[in-house]
Amino acid sequence: MLLRYASDPEFLIMVIVAFVVAITIHEAAHALAATWLGDDLPRLQGRLTLNPMRHLDPLGTLVLAFAPFGWGRPVLVNPYRLRFGVNRGMALVALAGPLSNVALAVALTPITRQLLAISPDDITTDALLVIVQLNILIAAFNMLPIPPLDGFSVLVGVVPQTWANQLNELRRYGPYLLIGVFLLLWVIPQGSIIITGPAQWIFEFLLAP
């Protein structure tokens, strides 16, 4: 994939478009969940929209020109205004992002299957395959229980309060932990199977005839 990413401009454009779609859906879902749970901060900041410009991070998007990786602008949420309590409320807001990516992948599956049967080498088919696969990968990656990823907030929301208090102390180290994970995956690429394994299984399950 990395070789194709570096040498195939058409594939690069597909990945960038798929990333914009995935991040827009992901962050808008966070904003919608927070609004539904009682916090109007995302709406006031203009994040309750499907306009990609409200959700893309300039640096996170620019990085895509050089590597198959990027990020969007996090949706700011006031956890004390959420229903069901701070931890459970934030868990629901966090879960909405990955679920939206999986939902989009599932919604695009029928037409992708049809195009694969009719014109498997068509550029439209390739683009849809990239969108489906990238949305599943983003969902799988974000569900890792590492701050500041969504999976960590989900974990904090389901464990007992005493454990949640201890886990929340790790949030201050979130960026360093995330960098550590990337460095570890760079040194030991086989470790990426934790993400790519489940993502590939879901991808093949959705597109199975």
The catalytic residues are: 27
The pair of three-digit structure tokens given for residue 185, joined into one six-digit string:
């995956």
Helices 123-142 and 86-118 cross at an angle (nearest 10°) of 160
> For 17, how many CA atoms within 13 A lie in the half-sphere containing its CB?
14
- The residue behind tokens 């949640």 is 164
CB atoms within 10 A of CB 159: 15
Instruction: Collect all residues with Cβ–Cβ distance below 8 Å to 18 and sequence separation of at least 6.
Output: 127, 130, 131, 134, 135
